Copies of this chain bind each other. A is one copy, B any other.
Amino acid sequence: MTMKGVTKLGTMQLKVMDLDESIAHYVNIVGLDLVERVGKTAYLKAYDEFGKWSIALHESDSPGMVDMGWQVRSDADLDRFAARVADLGIDVKEHAAGSKNGVGRRIAFVLPTGHAMELYADMEMAEDHPGIHNPDLWRKPPHGARSQKLDHCLLYGDDLDGTFRVFKEALDFDLTETGFDGDTRIMAFFTCSNRAHDVAFVRFPEAGRLHHCAFKLDSWGDVGHAADLFTQQNVSVDIGPTRHGITRGQTIYFFDPSGNRNETFAGGYEWYPDHPTRTWDPDQFGKAIFYYERALNDRFMGVVT
């Protein structure tokens, strides 16, 4: 195995304000499938994911992120990462297998930017998993925006330097792109794969904020279809279709009914360890984020949940 340690963003738990309306959004608009509904929580997954679920929606009185779960390669990685995170002075808790729907033993901690993060090695395989034996592309054609999988998330928080150390020093992520304002790091894009990013952070006065969670689409053609659908269904769109300078991804930002920002994301370069970290100057942050518009909108910097 060459991919070792943390392998992917496997789950995100979100707070939503009306569960039925939110399920309708994530199923009919984003294109996920409902896996199961337990009380005030709904579990959903995209068609091309093997794990039991990737998005959990919890009915709440405010929007935002509950936590994110990252899959590691082996159970032993959990102990290794727990020790290394603790070495940075962060309190690490362990949870037994089964205490989270379908998820094995896991460790949990809070990032310096205030985001709850968990690592796990094992998750039950979904009943409706992609084909394994003489597989087709899909069991039925993708629906809604045709999301294939949970892709990445962008988080806003205050102690960006602290969180930077966790990903770089404790969790072995690589820094693909970054931006400074003078000596102050404003943005950090991390990968734990050969994708252009798996998670990103932006410095922000408040802790623990979610900027967006993103779902992978197949192509720029599907980004266009998503835009068609969002207008026809009157979805609140932030911006797009456009492209990011950072990652080169093709994108639409839009909002779920509770105001959590979603992204449909396609493309992005393949990152390799021989790539130097790409860097952006403050006067180019607009182009970095919205390559075609070459300017940030106010929402990008200020609207988070």
Interface residue A71 (Cβ < 8 Å from any Cβ of B): yes
Q: Which residues of B are found within 8 Å of A192, using beta-carbon distances? A: 2
Interface residue A302 (Cβ < 8 Å from any Cβ of B): no
* B274 engages A50 (CB within 8 Å): yes
* B134 engages A280 (CB within 8 Å): yes
Interface residue A300 (Cβ < 8 Å from any Cβ of B): no
Interface residue A141 (Cβ < 8 Å from any Cβ of B): yes
Identity of the chain B residue whose Cβ is nearest the Cβ of A151 in the assembled complex: B270
* A287 engages B195 (CB within 8 Å): no
* B1 engages A273 (CB within 8 Å): yes
Q: Which residues of B are found within 8 Å of A11, using beta-carbon distances? A: none
The complex places the Cα of A241 from the Cα of B124 at a distance, in Å, of 37
Q: Which residues of B are found within 8 Å of A222, using beta-carbon distances? A: 221
Select the residue from A2, A8, A216, A267 with max chain B CB neighbours within 10 A: A2
Q: Which residues of B are found within 8 Å of A232, using beta-carbon distances? A: 136-138
Interface residue A224 (Cβ < 8 Å from any Cβ of B): yes
For chain A, residues 5 to 45, give those with C-beta under 8 angstroms from any C-beta of chain B: 5-8
Q: Known contacts A134-B284, A231-B287: does B220 contact A7 (CB below 8 Å)?
A: no
Interface residue A3 (Cβ < 8 Å from any Cβ of B): yes
* B48 engages A269 (CB within 8 Å): yes
Interface residue A157 (Cβ < 8 Å from any Cβ of B): no
B interface footprint on A269-301 (CB within 8 Å = 1, 0 otherwise): 110111111111100100110011110000000
The complex places the Cα of A296 from the Cα of B217 at a distance, in Å, of 28
Q: Known contacts A71-B274, A219-B219, A274-B71: does B134 contact A281 (CB below 8 Å)?
A: yes
Interface residue A135 (Cβ < 8 Å from any Cβ of B): yes
The complex places the Cα of A269 from the Cα of B4 at a distance, in Å, of 19
Interface residue A240 (Cβ < 8 Å from any Cβ of B): yes
Q: Which residues of B are found within 8 Å of A220, using beta-carbon distances? A: 219-221, 224
Determine which of B241, B278, B287 lies in contact with A132 in the assembled complex, contact meaning CB atoms within 8 Å. B278
Interface residue A87 (Cβ < 8 Å from any Cβ of B): no
Select the residue from A222, A275, A281 with max chain B CB neighbours within 10 A: A275
In the A-B complex, the 5 residue pairs with the smallest Cβ-Cβ separation, listed nearest first, are: A221-B221, A2-B192, A134-B284, A136-B232, A193-B194
With A133-B280, A134-B284, A224-B243 given, can you name 15 additional A-B contacts, CB distance below 8 Å?
A2-B3, A3-B272, A50-B276, A130-B275, A132-B278, A134-B287, A135-B278, A137-B232, A141-B225, A149-B270, A193-B194, A216-B270, A219-B220, A237-B293, A241-B242
